[in-house]
């Protein structure tokens, strides 16, 4: 397994600030451009058994609070390998970007020992045909660790499965850690058309949400400077040269690596 993880970032002043501080930017799930990615409300609406279970056990006010909590969750996306000049085009806005290489172990240690206290902070993305819907029984494991009972009566078996799921969801809404686990699982399902991105995510949900202000789009989490290993620039275009020049007085300058344009 690679000791590094990578993030493609736009060549702009916000990324300069991100490198100089340095920090990771966690976008709120509600600010994602792809309506099929991290859209918890749509997921619930498309999965009748989940919607029914939540509606059964939550008041309207509690249900709306649950959706609000999900929408405030912060997501920071990484990829497992350094994108080449060509493969960076598989990413949104990948053409005019740089790639920051991070020490995975340092980030894992930071998120474990920081106020977030997240063990194994990286979550592999699950690529699905329809990430907003539970397509079959095999998908229910993301909602429940309860083993369903077998029965000779198919109708009875279905009833047991539904009741187990209802009770599991009720437990999740009452248990903070279980709820965080649910949030992570639901927010790491994305469309299979993006499978070339080989994505990992760090997700700040539940008690780890830094700010509940409805008017912000995400969160900055300051990380140790040594977590950044390299800053990869794709070639020496005019835009790349200008970006590099802006970092000339920064300690990060010596970590810049120019990738060959091939």
Give the residue extent of every domain in the chain. Answer: 4-259
pLDDT tops 80 at residue 80:
yes
pLDDT tops 70 at residue 43:
no
More confident residue, 27 or 165: 27
Measured between alpha carbons, how far is 100 from 255 in angstroms, rounded to an integer?
A: 10
Q: Provide CB contacts within 8 A for 32, sequence distance 6+.
A: 38, 39, 75
Nearest residue to 151 via CA among 168, 164, 166: 164
Strands 74-79 and 218-222: unpaired
pLDDT tops 50 at residue 190:
yes
Q: What integer best gives the mean pLDDT of the chain?
A: 77
Q: What are phi and psi of 118, to 5 degrees?
A: -95, 120
Q: How confident is the model at residue 234 (pLDDT cuts 50, 70, 90)?
A: very high
User: What pLDDT does 53 receive?
Assistant: 65
Cβ(131)–Cβ(36) below 8 Å: yes
User: What pLDDT does 69 receive?
Assistant: 76
Q: What percent of the chain has pLDDT over 90?
A: 37
Average pLDDT of span 3-24: 96
Q: How confident is the model at residue 95 (pLDDT cuts 50, 70, 90)?
A: confident
More confident residue, 59 or 7: 7
Average pLDDT of span 14-33: 87
Nearest residue to 74 via CA among 211, 222, 223: 211
User: What pLDDT does 139 receive?
Assistant: 46
């Amino acid at each position: 397994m690679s000791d590094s993880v990578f993030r493609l970032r736009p060549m702009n002043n916000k990324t300069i600030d991100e490198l100089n501080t340095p920090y990771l930017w966690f976008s709120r799930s509600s600010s994602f451009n792809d309506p099929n990615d991290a859209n918890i409300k749509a997921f619930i609406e498309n999965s009748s058994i989940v919607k029914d279970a939540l509606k059964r056990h939550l008041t309207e006010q509690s249900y709306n609070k649950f959706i609000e909590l999900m929408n405030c969750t912060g997501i920071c996306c990484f990829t497992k390998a350094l994108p080449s000049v060509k493969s960076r085009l598989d990413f949104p806005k990948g053409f005019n970007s740089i790639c920051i290489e991070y020490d995975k172990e340092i980030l894992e240690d930071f998120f474990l020992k920081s106020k977030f206290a997240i063990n194994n902070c990286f979550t592999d993305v699950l690529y699905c045909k329809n990430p907003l819907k539970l397509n079959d029984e095999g998908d229910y494991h993301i909602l429940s660790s309860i083993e369903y009972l077998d029965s000779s009566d198919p109708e009875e078996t279905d009833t047991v499965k539904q009741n187990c799921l209802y009770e599991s969801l009720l437990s999740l809404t009452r248990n903070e850690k279980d709820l965080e686990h649910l949030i992570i699982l639901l927010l790491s399902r994305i469309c299979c058309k993006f499978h070339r991105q080989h994505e990992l995510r760090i997700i700040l949900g539940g008690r780890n949400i830094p700010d509940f202000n409805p008017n912000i789009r995400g969160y900055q989490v300051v990380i140790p400077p040594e977590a950044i290993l390299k800053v990869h620039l794709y070639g020496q275009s005019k835009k790349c040269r200008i970006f590099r020049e802006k970092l000339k007085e920064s300690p990060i300058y010596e970590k810049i690596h120019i990738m060959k344009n091939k």
